Amino acid sequence: MRTLVSSIALMTLYASHAFAAPSLSISDAYARATPPNVTTSAVFAKLHNTTDKEVVVASAKTERAGAVELHTVEQQGDVMKMRQVESFTIASEATFALKPGAEHIMLFNLDAPLKMGEQLSVELTLLTGEKINFDAPVKKVMQGMKHHHH
């Protein structure tokens, strides 16, 4: 009887952990399409922290890239420079935007060009070890071509 109670308790603990809501929800994800012979790209998205605690994204990966880094863009004098960062920290119940000219996920050594209409599977690993998977549709993005209507 004791074994049965222990087994039920263990299964309940496992089930509650296995089916817990993810710490992040992802929206508006996309990857930048690449021309032939270009082996780098970037992934952008909105990361929504659904918890009452800070969430830290420690790394990202995709099968299509040989290396994946978390990046930010900083002003150095009159030049914008991209640099790798250790992590992205998202405040409790907040949204963190990965966008061009700011924080983003950088892809290096792509196995083939990213073509418009494809889906790129991305996995984020949180500092807690939790994995968050999402698909980013590949889109053609014209950098610096925003049109503002007055």
pLDDT score of 21: 78
pLDDT score of 14: 47
Separation between Cα atoms, residue 59 and residue 74, nearest integer Å: 20
pLDDT score of 150: 43
> CA 16, 120, 93: angle at the middle one, nearest 5?
45
pLDDT score of 103: 97
pLDDT score of 93: 95
Q: Which residues of 133-149 are buried (b: 16+ CB within 10 A; e: fewer)?
A: ebebebeebeeeeeeee
Burial class (CB in 10 A: 0-12, 13-18, 19+), 34: buried
31: closest CA among 22, 42, 17? 42
Q: Mean pLDDT per 10-residue run, the chain (150 residues)?
A: 50 49 93 95 97 96 98 91 96 96 97 96 97 96 50
pLDDT score of 109: 98
The CATH class of 22-139 is mainly beta
Separation between Cα atoms, residue 94 and residue 104, nearest integer Å: 17
Residue 58 CB neighbour total at 10 angstroms: 15
